[in-house]
Amino acid sequence: MPADPDEALAHAVQALYAVPAAEFVATRTALARELRGARHRDAAKELTGMRKPSVSAAAVNALVRAEDPVVDRLVELGGAMRQATSALDGRALAALRTDRDELLRDWVRAAAEHAGGPLTPSVEAEVRDTAVAALADADATEVVTSGSLTRALSYSGFGEVDLADAVARTSTGVVLTRIEGGRVDGEVGEDEAAELEEDVDEPEEEDELEGDGDEDDEVQDEEELEDEEDDHLDVDDLEMELDEAEKVVAAARAERRRRVRAETDAADRVEEAAAEVARAEELVRSAQEQLSATQQALKEAQTRLTAAQDDRADAEETLRAARDRRDEARVALEEAEDA
């Protein structure tokens, strides 16, 4: 255990966020007792206030702490995308899109691998959203790669990523990041956990020599620690209930969006159908007008034809009468010549 309280707290936090989510509370309790045993009371109190990570955050932490190559790819690609965005270089962003999509697929796959089991679709979505946020925001990248993430991140497409209560921080606001090179100093292994249990159950010899005053302090420390543990167990229960409530709310919102989309799609289809009916009715009206015009033209043509036929009959009658008069004149002429 480091002698410096801040360093001791940092190492304890690294050990705490390195364990599976199911072991978080028990590990936090053990580490807090170890800090108190080293007389780092403020650090112990601060440690007991650290939030238990959500399932998706725990998966991301496991991925980061395993130093999977996809983490370095995330950092590198995020820098390139932010630079292209800052330069308003649409061509560069388009060129990076394939790398982005491939990274997100690999990120989710690696998170499931290091989490030790398959992730639910909702957790996969949160893990993916967290990577998207890290690509968009440098501060989000620092939080995600800290290995001490407490909740999933999301990015709306503009502005900064909301990082409130998203990572383990000291009381001064310092982000507690992972220590490079594998297991951190102070991370609790099996042997160390056993020693830690012995330390909790059996006082050290030098503590026994310090007298009754130290024993009273230890009893008071234990009582305070137990009270804090009870308080934080309640907080953990509330956080779990809050997580469940948030999931219910998210599901309800998703269902509402689905219904709104369905209603919108239905309204669009009705509107399109109404427009199609209107177009069809307009075509019918146009055809009817053309038919009426054609019928009127036909009627007028028939009238003209009848008139022409009448004129022709009159002309033929006139022609016959003229021929009759001509024939009569010829006969009269012949008779006159004979006389």
At a CB cut-off of 8 Å and minimum separation 6, what does 32 contact? 12, 44, 45, 47, 48, 225, 228, 229
**Angle, CA of 187, 192 and 194, to the nearest 5°:** 135
Task: Note the pLDDT tens digit of each residue in 234-282.
Answer: 555 566 566 666 656 666 666 776 776 777 776 677 767 777 888 888 8
Instruction: List phi, psi (to 5°) of 26.
Output: -65, -40
Q: 230 falls in which pLDDT band (50, 70, 90)?
A: low
Asked if the structure places residue 323 within a domain, the reply is: no
| pLDDT over 60 at 192, yes or no | no
Asked if the structure places residue 289 within a domain, the reply is: no
DSSP 34-71: HHHHTT-HHHHHHHHTPPPPPHHHHHHHHHHHTT-HHH
pTM: 0.54
123: domain range? 5-213
Asked if the structure places residue 137 within a domain, the reply is: yes
Crossing angle for the helix pair 69-86 and 90-115, to the nearest 10 degrees: 160
Q: Of 67-76, 117-126, 215-224, which range is least confident? A: 215-224
| pLDDT over 60 at 16, yes or no | yes
pLDDT at residue number 96: 94
Asked if the structure places residue 112 within a domain, the reply is: yes
Q: How many domains does the chain have?
A: 1
Asked if the structure places residue 267 within a domain, the reply is: no
Asked if the structure places residue 120 within a domain, the reply is: yes
pLDDT at residue number 122: 94
Q: 334 falls in which pLDDT band (50, 70, 90)?
A: confident
Task: Note the pLDDT tens digit of each residue in 81-112.
Answer: 999 999 999 999 999 999 999 999 999 999 99
pLDDT at residue number 10: 84
Residues 141, 136: Cα–Cα separation, whole Å:
8
| Summary count for the chain: helices (H), strands (E) | 11, 0
Asked if the structure places residue 245 within a domain, the reply is: no
Asked if the structure places residue 305 within a domain, the reply is: no
